Amino acid sequence: MNSVNNLIYLLEKKIESANISTKELVDTIYSADRVFIAGVGRSGLVGKLFAMRLMHIGKEVYIVGEVNTPRIERGDLLIAITGSGSTSTIIHNAKIAKSAGANVLVLTAKSGSMVERYSDKLLIFNMKSKYETKKLDESIFPLGSAFELSALLTLETSIANLIEKIGINEKFLMERHTNLE
């Protein structure tokens, strides 16, 4: 049986292996006019969690595919979250974003994926996707869980850094928190 500490240790190793720094991630998000987030399945849920926090810190943010999502344009950022890097809808959306002049940040499990050709920034966690056979150090994480958890923790860390960069506090976040629960 695996302990929570073992799980955290394995995730920490994966996150540390990512190829771009937290500062670069934060600067990319900070400089975007608007942020659009695309993900499918559990990766999409990670994206929605991140979108909520971006809204709390005052960023204009949209989830791709929702009815209130406007056209992406130059100056905007698409954050595409795909463990496999081969999710057809994510590739399609990245291609559209690039042709519109937007920047594309891709979070993926490994290099060499199809979505990479449309990315301006690529955050690679160097791990298996849900379609690969298990590697010993990741066998405790079913399917793409290691990627999803790594993406979530990395994005949450970027929120903490954005809060500091913007100069806001939790009171600001609470003022933007929903009152319709």
φ, ψ dihedrals at 173, nearest 5°: -65, -45
Identify the residue with better confidence: 22 or 26. 26
pLDDT, tens digit, 9 for 90 and up, residues 115-151: 999 999 999 887 755 555 555 455 566 666 788 888 9
Confidence of residue 44 (pLDDT cuts 50, 70, 90): very high
Q: Tell me if residue 148 is catalytic.
A: yes
The predicted structure's pLDDT at residue 109: 87
Please check whether residue 174 lies inside any domain of the structure.
no
Please check whether residue 162 lies inside any domain of the structure.
yes
pLDDT, tens digit, 9 for 90 and up, residues 82-123: 999 999 999 999 999 999 999 999 999 888 889 999 999 999
Please check whether residue 179 lies inside any domain of the structure.
no
The predicted structure's pLDDT at residue 125: 81
The predicted structure's pLDDT at residue 145: 78
Give the structural domain span for 71.
Answer: 4-169
Total number of domains in the chain:
1
Q: Which residues contact 147 (CB under 8 A, 6 or more apart)?
A: 43, 83, 108, 109, 125, 127, 129, 130
The CATH number given to whatever domain includes residue 48 is 3.40.50.10490
The predicted structure's pLDDT at residue 139: 55
Please check whether residue 15 lies inside any domain of the structure.
yes
Catalytic residue among 66, 73, 148, 164: 148
What percent of the chain shows pLDDT beyond 70? 84
The predicted structure's pLDDT at residue 162: 96
* Parallel, antiparallel or unpaired: strands 121-124 and 61-63: unpaired
The sign one gets for the Cα dihedral 63, 66, 68, 71 is positive
Please check whether residue 176 lies inside any domain of the structure.
no
Is the separation of the CB atoms in 112 and 70 below 8 Å? no
The predicted structure's pLDDT at residue 130: 56
Please check whether residue 181 lies inside any domain of the structure.
no
Please check whether residue 177 lies inside any domain of the structure.
no
Is the separation of the CB atoms in 80 and 38 below 8 Å? yes
Confidence of residue 20 (pLDDT cuts 50, 70, 90): confident
